[in-house]
Each structure stands twice: as structure tokens, then as C-alpha cells.
Amino acid sequence: ILNVEQSPQSLHVQEGDSTNFTCSFPSSNFYALHWYRWETAKSPEALFVMTLNGDEKKKGRISATLNTKEGYSYLYIKGSQPEDSATYLCASFKAAGNKLTFGGGTRVLVKP
């Protein structure tokens, strides 16, 4: 993996169902993995910053796991609600250039 990739690009979820999606990133020279939620017409909002292999973080019904050795992170939404509809972005931090490299995002639409 040379770039940060997210899959799927979009998904539709029925209200009350749980879902998860993937962020893949280069495992070499890994420093940190960031997750953001971006609702339409709002600013991206930070969810998690993860650094250690095996890390698990939770915020309400949203949680994330991190595997730095194989270069992937999963984001889980439990019991999806319409307000969870947003684009979820992940980004890997690269020390060279002090930059966050973002994936293309997973657009989640929760249907009532």
C-alpha cells in the first residue's frame, strides 16, 4: 500500500443496523492514524487519533481498531442512527513533511 485507501466509497445502512468500513495505509514509518467525521455543510470533526498496534478507541456508538503491522484500521458504528450519516475520513501522519495523508472517505447514509 503506497497511499491511504478507504473502502467502500459509500454505503447505505438501515437505521438500527451496525456497520463497519476499512482504512488501509502504508505500514512502514507509521506514526499515527486519524479518523474524522464530516457532515454535509459542516467542518470535519475529529473522532480518534490512534498510534499503537492493537489500539481500540470508542466514542459513543462509534469505535475503531488499529493494526499497524498490516496497515489497516476499522471503524464500527453500532446501531446506526440517521445522525450518523456523514463522510468518514481517515488520515495517516507522515513525519516527512509533517503532513496528514487522507483517504478518499467512506460516505455513510443511514436510512430511517
Partner 1 sequence: ETGVTQSPTHLIKTRGQQVTLRCSSQSGHNTVSWYQQALGQGPQFIFQYYREEENGRGNFPPRFSGLQFPNYSSELNVNALELDDSALYLCASSLRGGASKETQYFGPGTRLLVL
Q: How far is CA 104 from the centre of its chain?
A: 10
DSSP-derived secondary structure letter, 98: T
Residue 41 to residue 103: CA distance in whole angstroms: 20
- Closest to partner 1 by CB, 17 vs 45, is 45
- Closest to partner 1 by CB, 19 vs 106, is 106
Shortest distance in whole angstroms from residue 99 CB to partner 1: 4
Using CB under 8 A as the criterion, which residues of the chain lie in contact with partner 1 when the complex forms?
4, 6, 31-32, 34, 36, 41-46, 49, 51, 89, 91, 93, 95, 97-105
